[in-house]
Amino acid sequence: MLVAGFPAGSWGTNCYVVASGKGQECVVVDPGQDAASGVEDVVRENRLRPVAVLLTHGHIDHVWSVVPVCGAHDVPAYIHPDDRALLTDPARALSPETVQVLAELLAPSRLELTEPDDVRMLEDRAVLSLAGLDISVAHAPGHTRGSVTFGVPADVSGPAVLFSGDLVFRDGVGRTDLPGGDHDQLLASLAKVCLPLPDDTIVLSGHGPETTIGRERASNPWLQNLVPASGPARGR
């Protein structure tokens, strides 16, 4: 599997381009602020053909470039229905201070906050067959109501990969103090989504460096006292 990631924009939000290999179809995960040019660079360098944009949640730092990326390649965007409204009204999930910062950023960019022409809804436990990959969807509310993660199973090329959005980072978790956030829901989502996964699962989060489930199980304070929602953790 080919995964090319880069931090985009003022928030350093990780955008990922994912494919089964060079010269193949690909999906784009979380094209944030000013991510469109980075996506085009990755696509051109690896001779890829985007077929979809996948959104882990609706915060503006993760969806800023969804319209230009979808428009450039005539592809759909996938988002959970609980976060769809954030595509056109991001302020409803931001603090007053962040709304002001957003207004200042939007003014020179002339960005028009609209939906892509084709928006498709994500469902918990769905499996998306895209770009030669079987991508599992897990609803993981807590950071936002419609947060999800995307999982790609292990194969001969390497271990499973979890695109965790802002659910979990290396040594941290997503904030829950913004509108739509809920601390107890976040903990439940961590127990449901993360703890049952094998230790060698690679975690590619919305911000910061990659990590593994095993590392976070051992050292992330937010995971220390959690019990897996679906049986004992499967370390290996």
| Per-residue pLDDT tens digits for 59-93 | 999 999 999 999 999 999 999 999 999 999 888 87
In a domain, 236, yes or no: no
Q: How confident is the model at residue 231 (pLDDT cuts 50, 70, 90)?
A: very low
Q: How confident is the model at residue 223 (pLDDT cuts 50, 70, 90)?
A: very high
Q: What's the CA angle centered on 176, arms 175 and 182, to 5 degrees?
A: 150
In a domain, 228, yes or no: no
Tokens of 195: 């703890």
Nearest partner of 90 among 115, 108, 121, judged by Cα: 115
In a domain, 230, yes or no: no
The domain that contains 139 carries what CATH number? Answer: 3.60.15.10
pLDDT at 236: 36
pLDDT at 234: 43
In a domain, 141, yes or no: yes
Summarize pLDDT for 162-198 with one digit per residue, the tens: 999 999 999 999 999 989 999 999 999 999 999 999 9
In a domain, 233, yes or no: no
In a domain, 133, yes or no: yes
In a domain, 234, yes or no: no
The residues near 61 (Cβ < 8 Å, ≥ 6 apart) are 9, 10, 11, 13, 32, 33
Q: How far is CA 214 from CA 89, 184, 192, in A?
A: 37, 22, 15
- Cα four-point dihedral sign 153, 75, 206, 227: negative
Mean pLDDT of 198-226: 95
Distance CA 172, CA 219 (A): 10
How many domains are contained in the chain?
1
pLDDT at 100: 62
Start-to-end C-alpha separation, the chain:
21
- Judged by average pLDDT, the poorest of 102-111, 121-130, 144-153, 205-214 is 102-111
SS3 of 134, please? strand
Structural domain boundaries enclosing 25: 2-219
Q: How far is CA 187 from CA 23, 135, 138, 180, in A?
A: 39, 23, 14, 15
The residues near 55 (Cβ < 8 Å, ≥ 6 apart) are 29, 30, 62, 63, 66, 77, 78, 79, 83
pTM equals 0.91
In a domain, 165, yes or no: yes
Distance CA 164, CA 120 (A): 19
